[in-house]
Amino acid sequence: MKFNSMVASDSNMIPVWFIIFALSLVSVPSSTEGKGLIRSRRQGSNLCADGTYVHGNRSCCKCGAGQLLIQHCTVNPNDRKCDHCKEGTYTSHPNFQESCEPCTQCDDKANLKVDEPCSPDRNTKCRCKEDHYCDKEEPCTFCFPCKVCGAYGIKVACTATNNTVCNGGKTLIITLCIIIPILILIVLIVLWRWKRRRAQQNINQQENGNATLVEMRPLKVPRVDLTPHLPEIAEHIGFNDMKAIAMRYGIPQGTIDNCQLDHPNHAQQQTIQLLKIWVESQGMDASVKLIQNLENSGKKLTAKKVVDILT
């Protein structure tokens, strides 16, 4: 009786620290349970291998490449429903699209052919047919035929992105066809000017050498209209001589300059135009005055040639 009362009194005196220790053992999970909890959290974070998207107030897992979304998630991120793209369609990236993209068709009329066929996770890849090229980076929508060089030969072969480069033979021939005629024309002009200068020098020498002989011959000057004979007379009278005669008879300097401007680099046409203006100003006396002026200027041989033309 005494022992029982002691036990009862001892049970009412359990230390507080013992109670706290016992509670901590109950509340701390075992190491196995702790590892399971950590693993569960890690698995939860790896449920969406292709990333997530937000639908309403939930975060759902995306569908993989080559798939389309059928139904959004309702409870867990990965309980959304996906399906594979049908033949002729594709999705190349993880997505939450409700339809797949149609595969590209390589247009035969655009000189394209299939390089890599379409698959659920990849679009069709096209390339140019043989002997064709595209002048821009992918995607190419039209290919052009490669240039054919023929007998001149290929300098750089045609590729998928560059046209053929031919040797420069054709360009050289075209250049020569342009340059050679120009050179020939220049030579002819130089020769013509040289012969004309020599002829004028000979005329001057004859005039100077035969001045006495010419003076001894009286010139019979016909009184005729010079207009029909202007081109022939201009062949023997230079522009400078005609200019001196025109100025002597009061033809304005501006009128003389216009003759040169109207016919640049063509002395005979300049002379014809100025001679015509002078003849119109002198009337029927023009033939007589022209011969007299030539004689008075020391051009008696030229004056005789003009008389021969008129007679």
In a domain, 206, yes or no: no
What is the tens place of the pLDDT at every residue in 188-223?
999 999 998 888 888 777 666 554 444 555 567 778
pLDDT for 129 equals 93
Instruction: Looking at the structure, tell me whether residues 98 and 113 fall in a common domain.
Output: no
Instruction: Looking at the structure, tell me whether residues 64 and 36 fall in a common domain.
Output: no
Instruction: Looking at the structure, tell me whether residues 223 and 272 fall in a common domain.
Output: yes
Place of tokens 């049908």: 86
What is the tens place of the pLDDT at every residue in 241-267?
888 888 988 889 988 888 888 888 888
In a domain, 230, yes or no: yes
What is the tens place of the pLDDT at every residue in 49-100?
999 999 989 999 999 999 999 999 999 999 999 999 999 999 999 999 999 9
Q: Could you give the number of structural domains in the chain?
A: 4
In a domain, 205, yes or no: no
Q: Report the CATH number at residue 79.
A: 2.10.50.10
**126: domain range?**
108-166
In a domain, 192, yes or no: no
In a domain, 33, yes or no: yes
pLDDT for 226 equals 84
Work out the widest C-alpha separation in the chain, in whole angstroms. 194
Mean pLDDT of 122-140: 88
pLDDT category of residue 11 using cuts at 50, 70 and 90:
very low
pLDDT category of residue 307 using cuts at 50, 70 and 90:
confident
Residue 73 has a CB neighbour count (10 Å cut-off) of 19
In a domain, 184, yes or no: no
In a domain, 198, yes or no: no
Instruction: Looking at the structure, tell me whether residues 237 and 301 fall in a common domain.
Output: yes
In a domain, 186, yes or no: no
pLDDT for 32 equals 38
Enter the DSSP assignment of 122. Answer: B
- Reported as type and span, the H/E element at residue 45 is helix 31-45
Residue 61 has a CB neighbour count (10 Å cut-off) of 21
Instruction: Looking at the structure, tell me whether residues 95 and 26 fall in a common domain.
Output: no
Residue 113 has pLDDT above 80, yes or no: yes
Mean pLDDT of 136-161: 85
Q: Report the CATH number at residue 304.
A: 1.10.533.10
Q: 32 vs 29, 38, 44, 115, 151, CA distance in Å?
A: 8, 10, 18, 56, 85
Residue 114 has pLDDT above 90, yes or no: yes
**Exposed / middle / buried, residue 208 (Cβ in 10 Å: 0-12, 13-18, 19+):** exposed
What is the tens place of the pLDDT at every residue in 149-159?
887 788 899 98
pLDDT for 2 equals 40
